[in-house]
Amino acid sequence: MIGQSAIRKEGRAKVLGATQYTADVPVEGLWRGATVRSDVPRGILRGIHFGEGIPWSEFTVVTAADIPGKNRVASIVADQPFLVGIGEEVMHPEQPVVLLAHPDRYLLEAARKAVRLEIEPLPAIFDMEASLRQDELIYGTDNLLKEIRIAKGDPAPIWETAAFVIEGDYRTGAQEQLYLETQAILAFANTDENGLRITIQGSLQCPYYVHGAIAGLFELPADHVRVTALEMGGAFGGKEDYPSLIAGHAALLAWKSGHPVRIVYDREEDMAATTKRHPSRTHIKSAFDANGHLLALDVDFQLDGGAYATMSPVVLSRGTLHAAGVYRCPHVAIHGRALATNTPPPGAFRGFGAPQSLFAIERHMDICAQRMGMDPVELRRRNFLRLGDSMATGQVIREDLDLAGLMDRALVELDYDAKRKRFQTENAASPEVCRGVGFAVFMHGCGFTGSGEAKLASVAGLEALPDGRVSVLAASTEMGQGKHTVFAQVAAEALGLPIELVEVAPSDTSRVPNSGPTVASRSTMVVGKLIQDAAVAFRQGLIQQGLLHEPFTPEAFQAAVRAMLARSGSYKTYAQYHTPPQQKWDDTSYQGDAYPTFTWACYATQVAVDTVTWEVAVEDFVAVQEVGRVINPTLATGQVQGGVAQGIGFGLWEEVRMHNGRMANTQLTNYAIPTLADLPEIRVVFLENPHPAGPGGAKGLGELPMNGPAPALLNAVDFAVGPLRLDEVPMTPERLLDRAEEVARG
């Protein structure tokens, strides 16, 4: 089954419209929930006032005073309250203060508008520069949510002797995940002879994250909380940590009202209140010898972490670890900082910090080539990591790595050399529309950073079903990426069965073990490998019991499973993650093997720039990547094409506009994302290099495609109309016009 484009397990139901998303689930006696939020970026909550004309006795009202347990959401640091209480500090606009529930949605909305929050304003900080200067102290003793330093060698002596020392500053903006299905949670609260029990169903990536948050909120034992991830209409990281907050809100309302409660955000609330990609600012100082060999790198990488830590420490970690790119360098210093501001906290978004830092280094390499009078292809070729080289953390490349081959394949697919020559002539003759080609070479670490996987110690398993089929047990969720299908393919391959005899159990904490969150390009590689190991154990168990003999038919396998169930009542096998013996990591020094392996890619693109309107059209795009073994080529191609589309939006159009700490453009009429009409054919090429960390040699894939489009696009725009100061994304037409006017002013 591995390597075959099996049909999506959930595809038929989705195509027929039979799939039930959270808002579709029929519930008897349902009440609806709503959130009253701060409109002040920073201040002290002094009072809550309920307006006239609303039958308040019919409503369930929850404030911080009602919370029975811990009023803190713990993503990485337990610093964000579920609700702000009287006398406590409001840290951003959109911060939840009051919860309301009522069966009538229209009356509920009228009531939400009738609640007035009395907040004593305090000075606020809205950008990284002000936070770093400590214009106001809003978090801890220094406004730092997290700080990381990585050191290799000593760059300091190199600056005086290098033939070239080149510096640059680069910025990336926030980006909205814009999943089709907004945040949505359904909560039930029931009391039996053993006490309170909370059940959560909803659109969420990480059932056990929500499980832990609810258990702490109500101070309940683990077996009194049940969380089930329903089918999702997209997530892209936006439903990693935030569902813990909205699930807590729904659970509090269900508990106090005695009714099931569903909270579904509309698009405006979702865009205004929930997490985004972290804005970034990167300064790079680089030294080269006379032949273009990289001698030293000094990188200052900063993220805007918003009002609370949420996922910022781990997003900063990944961004910092990717900041040196795919280049060998003997002397590296990287300083990463996540800074607090009075804005809604950013969170996870596909790529998880790497798109920000990789944009900086890949744009910087093109600029360095210009400054040194070199071909950007040749500059990269001279500096690529190879087998046996060490990265900034000291991690040694142990796999056969051919980045030059990846690059060459992408450039051939795009016809890069011929187009460069042709466009130079055509642009000079017809400057109204100028064309350019550009590329970026990059990577993505697979799985959790450093010791993350070891600490999580994920478990996945298989369970025998009464009809002789097998069910995969894992907490990983289906959010459109094809998890159901890939997991079934992995299990079927290891069992020696057709995929029809394998199902994937719902992501329900009462049934499946904690296989970890559905994040970090880990589902296929890490959890899939556990499923493969559990499947091998399942098959061997039947053989050892004398119930199955090789070779066997599917019918014989089903008969063996039924016989095992008749004998023992149930049959399950599990596998748990253990760190490979060669992988060493030090959390304190940030030295060692940051990831078990990396995926590698080169993306190349062709653009056309209208020099009157400064609009950029993407005319061609080639994505060449090495992701180990490809489990399902059709699903993998879709993952790449979707990631490239998001990357194009990140690079050219998707601008989050903030006003007084709040997102101002919270509608699809004023937040521009790419549509099919804006996208070229995205041509996808996989170069396979199986890796033992994953099932059948597979690595992670989902996040890699996000990392390369933005720098490739700006490198192409630079060729078309440069040299301009193309140091920021999104490079909107307005921003591109500003850069052109800079040149015109000299």
- Domain residue limits at 46: 29-122+183-264
Residue 152's beta-bridge partner residues?
332
User: Same structural domain for residues 597 and 565?
Assistant: no
User: Same structural domain for residues 193 and 286?
Assistant: no
pLDDT at residue 74, as a whole number = 80
pLDDT at residue 746, as a whole number = 87
User: Same structural domain for residues 334 and 220?
Assistant: no
We report the CATH number of the domain holding residue 66 as 3.30.365.10
In order, the DSSP letters of 627-650 are -BS-S-HHHHHHHHHHHHHHHHHH
Indicate the DSSP class of residue 327: B
User: Same structural domain for residues 456 and 523?
Assistant: yes
User: Same structural domain for residues 328 and 222?
Assistant: no
User: Same structural domain for residues 290 and 387?
Assistant: yes
Residue 522 domain flag? yes
User: Same structural domain for residues 432 and 520?
Assistant: no
Tokens 């696009």 appear where? 713
Residue 614 domain flag? yes
- Residue 655 · residue 178 · CB < 8 Å: no
pLDDT at residue 486, as a whole number = 98
Euclidean distance between CA atoms 477 and 407, whole angstroms: 34
Which token pair is 679? Answer: 């996208």
Per-residue burial over 192-209, b = 16 or more CB atoms within 10 Å of its CB, e = otherwise: eeeebbbbbbbbbbbbbb
* Integer CA distances (angstroms), 120 to 39, 91, 97, 670, in order: 12, 12, 14, 32
Indicate the burial class of 652 (C-beta count within 10 angstroms; 0-12, 13-18, 19 or more): buried
User: Same structural domain for residues 463 and 495?
Assistant: yes
The enclosing H or E element of 256 equals helix 242-257
Tell me if the bond preceding 551 is cis, omega within 30° of 0: yes
User: Same structural domain for residues 208 and 344?
Assistant: no
Torsion angles phi and psi, residue 338, rounded to 5: -105, 125
Rg value, the chain, Cα: 26
Which token pair is 220? Answer: 């309940």
pLDDT at residue 234, as a whole number = 97
Residues 257-280 have pLDDT tens digits of 999 999 999 999 999 999 999 999
pLDDT at residue 92, as a whole number = 98
- What secondary structure, in 3-state letters, does 145-167 show? EEEEEEEECCCCCHHHHCCEEEE
Which token pair is 369? Answer: 């080539």
Residue 724 domain flag? yes
Euclidean distance between CA atoms 634 and 650, whole angstroms: 24
Residues 6+ apart with CB under 8 A from 128: 279, 281, 302, 303, 304, 339, 341
Residue 130 domain flag? no
Indicate the DSSP class of residue 684: E
User: Same structural domain for residues 436 and 458?
Assistant: no
Choosing from 529, 546, 576, the residue where a domain stops is: 576
Residues 6+ apart with CB under 8 A from 24: none
Residue 605 domain flag? yes
Mean pLDDT, contiguous 10-residue spans, the chain (746 residues): 95 95 97 98 98 97 98 91 98 98 98 98 98 97 98 97 98 98 98 97 98 98 98 96 98 98 98 98 98 98 97 97 98 98 98 98 98 98 98 96 98 98 97 98 95 95 98 97 97 98 98 96 96 98 97 98 97 96 93 97 98 97 98 98 98 97 96 95 97 95 97 98 95 97 93
User: Same structural domain for residues 433 and 477?
Assistant: no
Residue 147 domain flag? no
* Integer CA distances (angstroms), 694 to 5, 245, 336, 597, 699, in order: 18, 33, 30, 10, 6
Q: Based on the structure, what is the number of domains in the chain?
A: 3
Euclidean distance between CA atoms 649 and 385, whole angstroms: 29
Residue 352 domain flag? yes
Choosing from 576, 604, 629, the residue where a domain stops is: 576
Q: E strands along 218-279, which residues?
A: 225-229, 261-264
Residue 499 domain flag? yes
User: Same structural domain for residues 312 and 257?
Assistant: no
Choosing from 523, 551, 576, the residue where a domain stops is: 576
Residue 575: closest CA among 695, 697, 446, 689: 695
Q: Please, what is the average pLDDT of the chain?
A: 97
pLDDT at residue 75, as a whole number = 81
DSSP count for the chain of H helices, then E strands = 19, 31
Which token pair is 412? Answer: 């051939």
